[in-house]
Amino acid sequence: MLETVVPIVGAALTAVVATLLVYYNARGPRPRLVRQWGQRPVVRVPYGSPISVGLVQSAIDWWTVRGAPMVHQVSIGGHDIPKPGEIVVTLIDQGVPDHAGGMTRWTTLDSTGLMISATVLVPNDVSFLVLIHELGHALGFEHVSGHHVMNARIERVTQNDRGIREAFEASELRLS
């Protein structure tokens, strides 16, 4: 009897936990868009960079289909320093990466608080998940708990995009 009941209870518990996890991933906390751009940023990969341009383009595609106000086409060339309106994706050389495995720096205009440029620093073997996570910071998102693209810890970074589209739609700035 017990040999039958234990697996059934175990299976039922597993199903309950799986359901709760699906529910949490769909209904859990949403990331806040804490900074905004004054223009649609273009993402650029400098000349001679070992970062895959194709991977960067895929990451841009991931964001633009979710409503990110950014230029759809990756730009190639130039040096490591971003010009106004640019997000440069380049190799991490120094500094402590965030727990997700990369690092993003940005500059804002003091008078408006709007972002004017950003630098995404990643290792040369960067994964797609780390790239979309760091681009999320470059677009103005902060970390959020639960399995999500903006979770702070690499083992919990997924393609879960809960709240992303709504955050862009709710942003005050309407970029043309």
Phi, psi of 3 (to 5 degrees): -65, -25
Q: Which amino acid is at 47?
A: Y
Residue closer to Zn ion, measured from CB, 7 or 29: 29
Cβ atoms 176, 41 nearer than 8 A: no
Stretch that binds Zn ion, among 46-54, 72-80, 100-108, 166-174 (CB under 5 A): 100-108
| Residue 100 lies near Zn ion (rule: CB under 5 A) | yes
Cβ atoms 41, 70 nearer than 8 A: yes
Cβ atoms 148, 31 nearer than 8 A: yes
| Residue 136 lies near Zn ion (rule: CB under 5 A) | no
Residue closer to Zn ion, measured from CB, 56 or 130: 130
Per-residue mark of binding to Zn ion, 49-88 (x: CB under 5 A)? ----------------------------------------
Tokens 């804490």 correspond to 34
Reported as half-sphere exposure (CB side, CA atoms, 13 A), residue 129 has a value of 17
Residue closer to Zn ion, measured from CB, 71 or 154: 154
Residue closer to Zn ion, measured from CB, 5 or 96: 96
Q: What is the dihedral of CA 159, 160, 164, 166, to 10 degrees?
A: 140
Stretch that binds Zn ion, among 47-55, 92-100, 111-119, 120-128 (CB under 5 A): 92-100
Q: Which amino acid is at 72?
A: H
Least spacing, CB of residue 151 vs Zn ion, in Å:
8
Pairing of strands 115-122, 103-108: antiparallel
Q: Kindly state the number of chain residues that form the binding site for Zn ion, as judged by CB under 5 A.
A: 2
| Residue 98 lies near Zn ion (rule: CB under 5 A) | yes
Residue closer to Zn ion, measured from CB, 77 or 167: 167
The CA-to-CA distance between both ends of the chain, in Å, stands at 68
CB nearest Zn ion: which residue? 98
Q: Which residues bind Zn ion (CB under 5 A)?
A: 98, 100
